Structure formats: structure tokens, C-alpha cells
Amino acid sequence: MTAQTGTPGSVTTVYQVSGMSCGHCEGSVSDEISTISGVSSVKAVASTGEVTVVSAAALDESAVRAAVDEAGFELVGLA
């Protein structure tokens, strides 16, 4: 799901990530996705597998997939 937020020029996208089971997992995924250019906020929730990303523009899914892979998890797709 991609939606414009109330902030002009920002996009919120919710991704589904498999394999997260704890706060450390959430932190690893958030840290890796935060390194992508244009990302201003990341919130990962292990219990649902959802990762909400706020960015200046829509992100290239392959960049998000690579970041999630680097953290040791799998990007399933958009939530």
C-alpha cells in the first residue's frame, strides 16, 4: 500500500517482511532501510511483519528488498 501522507512531498509505503520475531529484528530491518536515500522514517513491527516507510518519493522495491535481505529477512511485497 502506498499513500500520500499529510506532509507535502512524502510517501508512506507499507511492506510485508517475513522472519522478524523480536525487537532486535525490527531494529535490524529499520536500520538497513533507513540507509536508502530519501527515507525519513521507518517503523517495523515484528508481530505483524509490517514495515512502514516514509520517504521523499516512492522507493525502488529492489532497493528495499536488498536492504531487507542485508538485515537477514525476506521482503514479501507490499502489505
Residue 5 pLDDT > 80: no
- Whole-number pLDDT of residue 7: 61
| CATH number of the domain bearing residue 48 | 3.30.70.100
Residue 67 pLDDT > 90: yes
Cα–Cα separations (whole angstroms), residue 5 to 15, 35, 38, 75: 16, 21, 15, 23
Q: Determine the structural domain holding residue 64 and report its residue range.
A: 2-78
Write the pLDDT tens digit of every residue in 8-54: 679 999 999 999 999 999 999 999 999 999 999 999 999 999 999 99
Q: Domain total for the chain?
A: 1
Give residue 59's pLDDT band: very low, low, confident or very high (50, 70, 90): very high
Residue 79 pLDDT > 70: yes
Supply the pTM of this predicted model.
0.89
Residue 4 pLDDT > 80: no
